Structure formats: C-alpha cells, structure tokens
Amino acid sequence: MHDRSTRSPAIYAHRGSSIMAPENTLPAYEWSLEHGSAVLETDVRLSRDGCLFMFHDENLERTTDGSGLVADTTASRLKQLNAAAKFHRPGDPVARPWCVSLLTLEELFASYPTVPITIDIKDNSSTAADEVIRLIKRFERYELTVVGSFFSEVILYLRKKAPEIKTAALIHEVAQLYFGRFAKIGKLAKLEKMAKPAGLTSVKKEGDPTGSFQALQIPMSWYGIRLATHQFVRYGQQLGYDMVYWTVNDEATLKRLQQLGVDGVVTDRPDIAQRIFNAS
C-alpha cells in the first residue's frame, strides 16, 4: 500500500507516457521513471500467435508504420514495425526520427524486475488472461503487479484461475462501493439500471468469491458522478484501498488530487506531477 505519511500521491506512468515519448515502449518507461514515476501503467494485446504485446489500440495505424489488427498479426511481424512511426513530442520544432520496436510483456517484466506494474488487458479473451497469469508466475511478480480490464469476464476468469494475483476493481464494483454507503435510500437500485445499458455485469452480491479486488484505479467521474471527492477518497482508504485516479495531465487537477490526499495519479506527464508534488 502507498505510504500516506508522505502525503504526495504515487505517480503512475500512463503507457510510460503517450505524450512525451512513444507510448508503451522502453523509451517511454525509461523517461517516466527518470521523472518520478513509481508505477508503470501498461496495455496488453495478443498477437495472432498468442504473444502479449504492450499495445493500446485494436489497430496498428495510429502509432506504427503497420496496418490491420494486432490480433491478425504475428509476433515476428509486429517486431518488425516501428512503434514510434507517428510520434512527435509536443514543442519539438522538427519531428525527431524515432525508431522503436514494439515491446512484449515478457520483455517488460525482464527489463523492470523490481518496478510495480499495472496491466490493462485490452482483449476480451481468456487466452490473454492465461498468458498474463503465466508470465506473472514465471517472473514471480505477485506483489508487484495489478491486473485490470474493462472486460469483466476476463478479470472474473483470472480471479478464479489465479486468486493469488492482484486485480483492480471492475467498474460495477467501484459503483457498488460508492453507492453501498447509500443503499438504504435506494441508490443501489439506481446503479443497477445505470449499469445494464452500459454493458456492465450486475453488482456483486455478498459472498460472491469472484468479487475480491485489491486496487481501486478509477476515473475522476463516471456517468456524471464525481468519484474524486474527499468523502469517497477517505471511505476507500478506510477500507484499506489505495485510491488511484486516471488520467490526469493538467496542473490544477493534479494539485486538487494531492489536496484530497489520494494515493496515486495516472498521468502522461510524470514530469509535471513530480514538480507539483515535490513543491509541497
């Protein structure tokens, strides 16, 4: 758990940085660690032949010189692509000619054996979950890795198969935690109505063994509901959770979150966050 006595939130590097270096690449992770990041936040997708790459999008076009779906591309072909083909750092008068290979999760774990990493599984696939489990076990990263996904089925599968691996709360679990304080006045029923159109699973019932999570990594708001409030931050912390918010790049919001006493912020600008937090 983040040491709250330091008062400054831990800096979670969003894809290393998707602004200051080519996202989800070694240069991005190196840059973020040099600028005060404590945790690396990453995305993973499966290649056609079952290798997990650090990649956010379903398609290759936005960031690389390739085209098509990651899922339709072999690992060997992905390794031939330039992960920084479309990258241009803001403020640089001339585009720097970056040439960076796509990174696998195995390579990331090998490169940073002692750095905490939070993983977002982008594929709605039990195969992706199985490969994450295999690599966490191989590198014995149980205490250093948290796994999340917007696909509840993937996380519920992972929890059942490897309960020793830490997972982030699913959005409906965050909502249950938020509205659970007000269940007596009927807001939990309202939550169920909101969750179903959004494609979310039902709120976890008491005693559900698949409902455990160890981390709260959440947006500033959800469906217009403010999650970054003094009351909710304290409530989550009293229950033993680190309260981590994403994705925050502007100075005013970073300062406000620090004043709220949150445990971490996910940001593309670790340099700005480091300057603000160190100044306090």
> What pLDDT shows up at residue 96?
72
More confident residue, 5 or 252: 252
pLDDT tens-digit readout, 112-147: 999 999 999 999 999 999 999 999 999 999 999 999
> What pLDDT shows up at residue 175?
85
Cβ proximity of 246 and 265 under 8 Å: yes
pTM of the full predicted structure?
0.87
pLDDT tens-digit readout, 74-86: 999 999 999 999 9
Q: How far apart are CA 264 and CA 258, in angstroms?
A: 9
User: Average pLDDT for residues 219-240, to the nearest whole number?
Assistant: 92
Give the lowest-confidence range in 39-53, 66-80, 88-102: 88-102
> What pLDDT shows up at residue 181?
64
Q: How far apart are CA 2 and CA 57, in angstroms?
A: 30
Domain ranges for the chain: 9-170+213-279
For domain 9-170+213-279, give the fold: TIM Barrel (3.20.20)
Q: At what angle do helices 251-260 and 270-279 cross, to 10 degrees?
A: 50
Cβ proximity of 195 and 202 under 8 Å: yes
